[in-house]
Amino acid sequence: MKNFFMKVYQKIMAVAVYFLPWREPTVYKGVGMIRMLPAVMRQANIKRVLIVTDQGIRASGILHKVLAELNVTYVVFDHVEPNPDEETVKKIRTQYVSFGAEGLIGLGGGSVIDATKVVAALVNQPQKEAEDLKGLLKVRGRTAYTVMIPTTAGTGSEVTLAAVISSKRKRKKYTIMDTKLIPDAAILAPELLASLPKRLTAETGMDALTHAVESFISGTRTKQTKKDGVRAVKLIHEYLNRSYDIPDDLKARFGMLEASYYAGRAFTRAYVGNIHAMSHALTAFYGSPHGRTNALILPIVLRIYGESVHPELAELADAIDLTDVSASNEEKALAFTRWVEGMNDRFEIPRSVPEIADQDLDALISHAYKEANPMYPVPVIFSKEDFREAFLKVKG
């Protein structure tokens, strides 16, 4: 009976979400598009801007390239960590207010962009903290103007309504979802990814694949989200290996930026699912890299879902020509899952997380269960015992 009411809730939410005030960022994409940044600032009448980034971006020289294009007064916050902590969000907001900034530029991967989005939501709500916004549609009032410049191809956060924040002190992660978090503008410049290390290229690329797959098997998928999901999977199939093998192949880098964008656009309406719920629990407890954790959980959960996702996985297998068209849906679905496992193996992404401690298992299960239910429109609603089985498989 509980599962029935969860499904009803998800259907009601799917209808309600359809009527939300959706927007999409203005996107500037292609080699050299970073030169559009002054025009973007001018158009938005932004004269003082806070740039949010991390130490890796500063060390790589990417920050210098962006600063060379700016024609406004700026200040830089460059201490965003992987899985951004709520305390970091507080520090960025404080700097934004003290500097008198009029907008934000998020320059980095998903962690940087997520932190930037949450700060944009908080600057006009001084009585609120990040955790006050967790869940759906908790952002009030006007958000600060944001421009996102992704330097990885994975999260698609530059187009999504979601941001994920951690609390290291409380050992938890929470998701904030609101259409007001969707950025105002995004610049997809593949040359900024040319120095991305192989490990990050692989893990963020598999993160994008997870987004595409979870949105494609979602119970609230639409024709458009399915189209975006297929497009993302095809681009990943074509360009992820090339990006990994030839880092300065800008065509491949651009292909992966587009894959990340389309996968992000798909899941911002169709949502993610149990894979992300489990991944967030593991990263909250152990600081595991988000993309890597998604990648290793993906095939495990697809196998648990079984025949409930065979038709959808068969469609994806057909889209990238994994089997003969005459194969059964089950054969095609298995081929797709094996392809995911093969990609993980090629990129040396582990098949398990042996550091999962027995004493943490109940808390991990609770974390994942509370995140997934009833919000995520998954093909199979996991009970706590289902999550236990899944976590034990992940532990190996």
pLDDT at 338: 99
For residues 249 and 14, the model is more confident at 249
| Mean of pLDDT values over 283-299 | 96
Compute the distance between CA of residue 74 and CA of residue 38 in angstroms, rounded to an integer.
12
Compute the distance between CA of residue 39 and CA of residue 7 in angstroms, rounded to an integer.
46
pLDDT at 22: 78
Compute the distance between CA of residue 182 and CA of residue 63 in angstroms, rounded to an integer.
23
Q: How confident is the model at residue 1 (pLDDT cuts 50, 70, 90)?
A: low
| Mean of pLDDT values over 58-68 | 94
Domain boundaries in the chain? Answer: 21-193, 198-395
| Whole-number Cα distances in Å, 81 to 96, 240, 270, 294, 387 | 18, 25, 28, 18, 28
Domain 198-395 is classified in which CATH homologous superfamily? Dehydroquinate synthase-like - alpha domain (1.20.1090.10)
For residue 6, pLDDT beyond 80 = no
Q: How confident is the model at residue 23 (pLDDT cuts 50, 70, 90)?
A: confident
Average pLDDT of the residues of the chain: 95
Q: Which fold has domain 21-193?
A: Rossmann fold (3.40.50)
Compute the distance between CA of residue 69 and CA of residue 71 in angstroms, rounded to an integer.
7
pLDDT at 265: 96
Of 23-27, 40-44, 368-372, the least confident: 23-27
pLDDT at 358: 96
Q: How confident is the model at residue 144 (pLDDT cuts 50, 70, 90)?
A: very high
Compute the distance between CA of residue 81 and CA of residue 91 in angstroms, rounded to an integer.
12
For residue 346, pLDDT beyond 80 = yes
Only one residue has tokens 């700016």, namely: 70
pLDDT at 15: 67
